[in-house]
Amino acid sequence: MNDQTTVKLRLNNSELWCGLIGLALGGFVIWQGLKLKLGTINDPGSGYVLFYTGILMCVFAASIIISAIIEGGPTLASRWQNVSWSKPLLVIVCLTAFSFALEPLGFLLSSIPLMLLLLRLIDPLRWTLAMPIAVLAPLGMWWMLKRLLLIQLPSGLFAIG
């Protein structure tokens, strides 16, 4: 082989491993689709969409694997260098607190503080912009879900919403 067609296969290539995991996941989705029965194009079964989604997943994963073999890719260790964990952990803590507060406080009284925290701490917006968004976005969602779609949301202790 000449220099232009050299294959760069390394086992610590993160893109190779992601492609292999994607291929395995696509195979699992295909298998589950087959178990649910495919049906036909005119009378699709419950596994029809799953099966073809799995095929697409496998095609995309195969393209990632081929690209990783031909072009190489970053190592697994380099993907984790200089990673800041504070913001993702803060989002997890906020969402966990929201899940515990949703039932006792209700949708509106738990969503507004969540939005305000996320808008101020994760990607800081000024207060004059964060406050209206934190109030109007949950109110808009509440109105759409409760009034338009007639979905029952938790109203909480104070029966707000």
The 10s digit of each residue's pLDDT in 105-147 is 989 899 999 999 999 988 888 999 999 999 999 999 989 988 8
In b/e form, how buried is each residue of 13-48, taking b as 16+ CB within 10 angstroms?
bbbbbbbeebbeebeebbeebeeeebeeeeeeeebb
The 10s digit of each residue's pLDDT in 18-45 is 999 999 999 999 999 999 988 888 888 8
Distance CA 37, CA 46 (A): 6
What's residue 1's pLDDT? 47
What's residue 146's pLDDT? 87
Biggest alpha carbon distance in the chain?
74
Radius of gyration of the chain (CA): 24
5 band by pLDDT with thresholds 50, 70 and 90: low
The 10s digit of each residue's pLDDT in 40-85 is 888 888 889 999 999 999 999 999 999 988 888 777 777 778 888 8
Residue 114 bridge partners (DSSP): none
CA dihedral 33, 37, 38, 39 (to 10 degrees): -160
Q: What is the 3-state secondary structure (H, E, C) of the chain?
A: CCHHHCCCCCCCEHHHHHHHHHHHHHHHHHHHHHHCCCECCCCECCCHHHHHHHHHHHHHHHHHHHHHHHHCCCEHHHHCCCCCCHHHHHHHHHHHHHHHHHHHHCHHHHHHHHHHHHHHHHCCCCHHHHHHHHHHHHHHHHHHHHHHCCCCCCCCCCCCC
The 10s digit of each residue's pLDDT in 85-103 is 888 899 999 999 999 999 9
pTM score of the predicted model = 0.55
